[in-house]
């Protein structure tokens, strides 16, 4: 990269990291609730059924999601710029898959937040079982539509990883230790490992699983910025 391109790339890494941090706020709005052994999935949780999920959480995760999407787009541009210029199709694939991934972020956050709130609200008015049945129907109706986001997400993550391992990026292969997939796997597996060792489910498990993707992106973008700064000369 030329100096101007490096400055732009470094700026995009930092702005993208800011976007990831804002989306982590949304993840925390959903996941920081008392854990219960009977909890299941994204929204059937004792804390929600007991009325402990406040509406301000939905508003906060929506605002941080919308603003975070804007800044996240710069991060996607940075991930695309990591691919060497001669691999134009790969760069385009990362860019457009990444933009689809970013565009869905606030939508998914808002959906999960509203599911949590509906469980909280309805369980108080129509009873727990009916509330869960109602929200299950709502979720099952919408899930096929929103599940399309997994396609661009997989394309973005895997293309970035394969390009790094194949030596098609501006970074060394050793940067795999900071890659999105590496850290996402770590965060997702921690709750499973804890429970396999006999530990009770905890709020920390929710944080690890629900904030895994955005935290992994934050780590990758910050690491990419530091790598670029250290190799500027």
Tens of pLDDT, residues 124-162: 888 888 988 988 888 888 888 888 888 888 999 999 999
Give the tokens for residue 34. Answer: 């008392």
Integer CA distances (angstroms), 45 to 21, 48, 205, 206, 210, in order: 25, 5, 13, 11, 14
The model's pTM is 0.90
Tens of pLDDT, residues 84-134: 999 999 999 999 999 888 888 778 888 888 888 888 888 888 888 898 898
What are the residue ranges of helices labelled H in the chain?
A: 3-31, 46-49, 55-81, 88-126, 128-146, 150-165, 180-196, 203-210, 212-230
């Amino acid at each position: 990269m030329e100096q101007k391109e490096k400055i732009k790339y470094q700026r995009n890494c930092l702005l993208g990291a800011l976007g990831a941090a804002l989306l982590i706020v949304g993840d925390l709005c959903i996941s920081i609730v008392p854990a219960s052994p009977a909890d299941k999935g994204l929204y059937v949780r004792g804390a929600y059924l007991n009325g402990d999920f406040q509406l301000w959480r939905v508003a906060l995760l929506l605002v941080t999601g919308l603003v975070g999407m804007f800044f996240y787009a710069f991060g996607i541009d940075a991930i695309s710029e990591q691919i060497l210029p001669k691999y134009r199709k790969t760069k385009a694939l990362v860019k457009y898959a990444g933009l689809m991934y970013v565009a869905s972020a606030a939508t998914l956050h808002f959906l999960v937040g509203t599911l949590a709130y509906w469980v909280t609200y309805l369980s108080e008015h129509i009873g727990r079982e009916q509330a869960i049945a109602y929200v299950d129907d709502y979720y099952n109706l919408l899930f096929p539509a929103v599940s399309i986001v997994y396609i661009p997400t997989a394309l973005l993550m895997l293309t970035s990883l394969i390009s790094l391992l194949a030596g098609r990026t501006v970074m060394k292969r050793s940067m795999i230790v900071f890659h999105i997939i590496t850290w996402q796997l770590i965060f997702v597996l921690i709750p499973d490992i804890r429970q396999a060792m006999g530990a009770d489910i905890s709020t920390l498990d929710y944080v690890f699983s629900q904030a895994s993707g955005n935290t992994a992106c934050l780590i990758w973008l910050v690491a990419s910025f530091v790598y670029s700064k250290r190799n500027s000369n």
